[in-house]
Structure 1
Amino acid sequence: MSDLPARDLQPLWDELAAQAAHDARTNIAFPGATDITFSQLSHLMTQVLFNNIGSPYDHGHGRNHTKTVEQQVVNIVGDLFRAPASRWGYVTSGSTEGTEHALLDARKRFPAAVIYTSAAAHYKIVELADKLMMPLVVLNTDAGGAMDVADLLGELAQRRDRPAVIVATAGTTMTEAVDDVPAIAAACEKLAITRRRIHVDGALSGLPLVLEPIAGVPRIDFTVHGVTSIVVSGHKFLSTQTPCGVLVYRDPPHAATVAPVSYTGTASVTILGSRSGHTPLLLYAALAGLGIEAHRKRVRACRAMAAYAASQLRGVGVDAMRHPHAFTVYFPPLPPTMAAEWVQPTDDQHGHLICMPQVTTTQIDAFAAAAATAITSCPHAAPLPARRRQDKATVAT
């Protein structure tokens, strides 16, 4: 490989484009919007280097950054989640980075803290707990995938002398369930656990829920007493088409107090060093360029499509279920033959499809027809009970 001659890569790019276009028809199982395009940013995205290294709140020695735009993005998202004026945040590489930042901040404030999260929460939380060497309690869920708050109360009661870090989920991976954040806060209050942090992982459902609240779905914003941080993804609902996220704290975290690095002239307050200066442009274009009302219409359209999908699937014998707020329709795993054409991630209980803004009735009808054919030849199993806590060996004591 010491001699790498130049080659014509256009055939490869053409092949990737053709494959992506082909797969888009049958890839309706992962949450990623593609309906917003950013041609107006083509020059800045392809011909200018932007590096938002360090804190978004000080420019440092460099000038090739978009930190002013990044601050605007944090403020727009902060306003949507009703964050106070003391808010602090930054644009991340994705929701996992935002959750890691929140857990690291909690560990710095409370070194003996225990993490609590549900069995339906994102798989990365288990990895982050291991990476940060923080004890973890995995909680039961109800049948729809939301955290069992009674189980949380019981686990908290066993460790009232330990600080608690609760990672609530707004939009679980398989069913898009929303944990009852007010009830979580109330459980802490009931046990007088004052050394606590509540972080909301709102990667998928966070923005839709604050844009178009649904009666009966618990609040997930900063008006809930005790919520300390919230993270959302950009590539899921906002169609940035490259992974990113936005982390917002109620108050500045411990990291905000560190001194600047002499070389960069800015404080090292983020998980990463160099950070993309392009993703804030995409986020700002999506948020401010379209405006809030356009995004509310997108939410309503996605929910209507999900309701249609659930109805069509039930019509062909699939036990399809959906939370009222959700873009996700979940069902018992379909026969393996479906995977030959359709992308079908499953866990031990469910398969699903997700009605992001670009999904059409034509796709839903085709999926339902394929499901009907598959279950006729190989009937699927009955739904399994709610996920229970993992083996006690993985649970903190």
Structure 2
Amino acid sequence: MTLGSQNLTRLDQLFYSMRDANACFLGYPFAKDFNYEPLWRFLKFTGNNLGDPFEPGTYRVNSHAFECEVVEFFAQLFRAPDDGFWGYITNGGTEGNIYGLYLGRELYPDGVAYFSRDSHYSVSKAARLLRLEHAVVDSQSHGEINYDDLARKASNERNRPALIVANIGTTMKEGRDDTSKIRAVLRDVGVRESYVHADAALCGPYAPFLNPKPSFDFEDGADSVTISGHKFLGAPMPCGVVLARKSNVRRVMRAIDYIGSLDTTLSGSRNAYSPIVLWYAIRCLGIAGIKRMFDQCEQLAAYTADELNDRGVDAWRNPHALTVVLPPVEEGVKAKWQIATQDVSHVVVTPGTTKQQLDALIEAIANSGR
């Protein structure tokens, strides 16, 4: 398979464009500093993780064994029940959120979904796809769900099960909902049955090491947890991990003769490379490496907030957050540095972000109003 010189030139131009854009984006939570060259050889194969990763199947050009190890790593990190958990590697946090709410709907078909205004847009998409009756709950100013408003809305449907999405790091402010408090609110208003899904897309890999630790894992009352692989750990393609209680997964399990395995995932065919990448990352880093990366990122996030405030920019961040929140930036700064902006803008300090990049952005923001 060969390309002509014109198409080779177009590939070169695309590479340089992506390389230049990669050097100056600070508004989205994607890790930048990773090297997976030892894994390039796997691209020679049609790697397809068909079916359930924990079950044998007919098609064997897969990385199921590595996928299971990644799932088990995060199951231990998120205090999942021994032999009572299941999971798989997804195409990203959106798939994980849809899967969590799918399990909740299958458990409680007449349930009402609740999620805050600061939830990722994939949550409302999941509610529409699953045709779930839902209520959007107010958020507090720092991004965490408003528990009083949750109580008001849930009390109106106290005789129906509640399907809750708890944000463990909201999209714009990295606010963290408290699953234990959510459970308590539901009990207090008389909701007898509930399912809690924790969206820990960015914060999941490091949340267990924070002090105090956010309430979000299985022992804290979550029924499913999802993370993104490309946001903090780093991957050249979007990916994620979703974990759930095995008893709930059994409700959606189907045996498929064509693949000689069980169908338990949303996407059926799944690429075999994301599991290898995530396996490689956690094997290289280990717990100590993840902690070290987080400490480095948090120090830079604190530095960024302090420097912006010293320059007269009203910047802030939640405790231990890697997200620095500030007033909306001007269009030129937004375009060059790819800054996500709604009612506020934010800067996200992920692994691979350098002090030099942050200094250049701080200078651009400070000078943009002059």
TM-score band, normalised by shorter chain: over 0.9
| Structure 2: gaps spanning 5 or more residues | none
Check the 8 A contact 1:333/1:350 in 2, yes or no: yes
Structure 2 match to 1:345: 340
C-alpha contact 1:33 1:241 (8 A) present in aligned 2: no
Residues 254-273 of structure 1 correspond to what in structure 2 (within 5 A)?
Answer: 254-255=249-250, 258-273=253-268
The correspondence for 2:55, drawn from 54, 58, 63, is 58
2:228 aligned with 1:230? no
Q: Determine whether 1:359 maps to 2:357.
A: no
CA shift, 1:242, in A, is: 0.6
Indicate the residue corresponding to 1:372 in structure 2. Answer: 366
Q: Secondary structure at 2:206's aligned position in 1?
A: helix
Amino acid paired to 2:241: V
> How much does 1:98 deviate?
1.1
Match of 1:84 among 81, 84, 99: 81
**CA RMSD for the aligned pairs?**
1.7
Alignment of 1:212-223 (within 5 A): 212-215=209-212, 218-223=214-219
CA distance in 2, matches of 1:66, 1:270: 15
Structure 1 residue 51: Cα displacement: 0.8
Aligned residues: 368
Tell me, which stretches of 5 or more residues in structure 1 are unaligned? 377-397
Letter in 1 for 2:4: R
Q: How far does the alpha carbon of each residue in 1:170-205 deviate from its partner, in whole angstroms, 9 at most, with x for none?
A: 111111111122110111222342321000000001
| Cα distance in structure 1, aligned partners of 2:56 and 2:11 | 36
CA distance in 1, matches of 2:353, 2:281: 19
What TM-score, normalized to structure 2? 0.95
Give the conservation status (yes or no) of the 8 Å contact 2:205–2:290.
no
How far did residue 255 of structure 1 move?
Answer: 4.5
The aligned amino acid for 2:151 is L
In 2, are the aligned partners of 1:33 and 1:238 still within 8 Å (CA)? yes
1:306 corresponds to which residue? 301
Kept in 1: contact 2:78–2:218 (CA 8 A): yes
Q: Using a 3 Å threshold, how does the CA distance of structure 1 residues 21 and 259 change in structure 2: closer, same or farther?
A: closer
One-letter amino acid of the counterpart of residue 118, structure 2: A
SS at match of 2:337: coil
| Residues 284-303 of structure 1: CA deviation (Å, up to 9, x unaligned) | 00012221101110000010
After TM superposition, the structure 1 = structure 2 runs for residues 156-305 of structure 1, keeping only pairs within 5 Å, are 156-210=154-208, 212-215=209-212, 218-224=214-220, 226-255=221-250, 258-305=253-300
* Alignment correspondent of 1:390: none
Query: 1:74 is matched by which residue type in structure 2?
Result: V
Letter of the 1:64 counterpart: V
Q: CA deviation at 1:315?
A: 1.4
TM-score, normalisation: structure 1: 0.89
Q: CA deviation at 1:68?
A: 1.1
Q: Displacement, 1:360?
A: 1.2
Identity value in percent: 33
